[in-house]
Structure 1
Amino acid sequence: MFTAKNRSTMQIVYRLTAIILAVLLLASCARNVPSSEDKPDDKGKPEVTVQPEDKGSDNSGQQQDKGSNAPGSPATAAESYSNFATAKGDVITMLSDALANNPDTALYSMSLLGVVMVDLAMLPASSFGLGQEAANTALGFLGLKDIEYTESGNQYSVKHTRDDGRKYELQGVYDKAADSLKCKAFLDGSHCLTYEYRKTSYGYVAQIFSIGDDGSAYVYKLAFSDRNGAVGMSEESAEPPALTGSETIDFPKQCPEWYAIDGDAVTGVTSDGKELSFVYTPSED
């Protein structure tokens, strides 16, 4: 049945993401193991000129992704993205299962496929801050070719060639203080995606602007708090304003179509304006 296939597709995407993150973690750990001669290993590190740090200067304008003074803060942009992707995956999987497992809402679970599939375009972000070697290991595992990784301060870029020969680049800027990442993607030089998230007092808020090959564009708005959260979607002609971090957990409900889960309570408004409200019963498969 298509609902089972829908859940399976989402599970495959998030399992694939988890595998890539695990591979990157192993590659990063291996890269950081000292050699027998206790010499630093520079292989696989991006060719970025780093200026000597002036201890008396103000470095607030050029954050370095080298750890944080805040307790529990991610050590790298890659770790930050991993944390966000896990939180997003938990909520989207529950929402998808809730909609697909309810006979009256099964069709609407298809609305979540777009916000799931766009994560495939974000896989290069899993290597931000980990270097060329880690990027080659993880992204090469997916069969990507001509991988080029660069970083400068808190700015990152990963380029590669797709199977169809088209050139793809994902650029990202990580704000360690806010634990936020904003990315832009380009396909053959044309802007095709803006993806950003920010840590908040309740969890995460995120916004995605995705442009199709035909020029159509969709906006996805997301907010998560533990395993509760909401996802909104709308067709737009222009990129929305950037996130500020002051958005509430109801931020996605600004969209004409949205779905939310709070405990076992599922609410939403469908693409045809139908209001939803039911109790989620987890599937057994």
Structure 2
Amino acid sequence: MKFALINDCHILLHLPRSRLDDAIQTSVDKFESVMSWCSKNNLILLIGGDFTDRPRGWYVYKKIIRVFKKYSNVKVYAVFGQHCMFLRNTEATILDLLNQSNYLTILGNKPIIFKKEKIFLYGCSWGGEIPKAESKEDFNILVIHAPIAEAPLFPNHDYQDAKKFLKENMDYDLILCGDIHREFVIKYKNRMIVNTGPMLRLTAEAYSFEHEPNFKVYNTKTREVETIFIPHAPADEVLTREHIERQDEIDSMLDEFVTSMKEDFEVEADLISNIEKYLKENEISDSVVNIISRVMEE
């Protein structure tokens, strides 16, 4: 049995500063290309959270519905990412409505079971507890949205190590994890954890200029994964760093200003202390000291 895997689609409801194109339509088009491929190849699609960039947006909801209707033969299973919900509230969100309308199914502790293939499909949305697999002998899949990564993205980054996570959750043969926008495929004892990276390059960070949007196709019989690239423009045609460079310039100017202020303060402090030292060492009369004090105060 084959599954298409993708995470962090971030279908947009607004235009990010880093994009030069109509990023809202681009995000919808990319998702449609994934659905089209799944439809032609008879694949089940698993989404590892953050399907949309914000929980509500009825303008783009209509566009999403049209895609699901067009490829109604594709079964889609997903979990909630933090971008799909209001804090922990999942009600009346785009993903919730898609679930209620049977366009997709939200995964949870109770598995979706493919009896013939003996495959059990579980889900863990953002902030949830990892479900316990009912049958260790069968093929278990976990779709999860959590900060699982190969390495920290910044100092003091609170994350779960991907290889360690795979080793600690031995009951799962395949784990699809979303949240961290870094692509990786890690294997351990015939088991695998996958992050496809973001479907849409949202920011103009260095990684976005290297990453090629894709989804994976996993074969439960061979336990192998294949990468399918999603049509996309070169990064330098759709991404701009102008706002980042401008902010860097502002930060640099601010640093220079703060440094100069500190230097001026230190010079002033040294001058005052030197005058006070001179007055004490040279036994200057009180009347002169008072005059100097008034001048210094002014």
TM-score, length-scaled by structure 1 = 0.29
Larger RCO, structures 1/2 (Cα 8 Å, 6+ apart): 2
Larger Rg: 2
**Which protein has the bigger strand share?**
1
Q: Which has the higher helix share?
A: 2
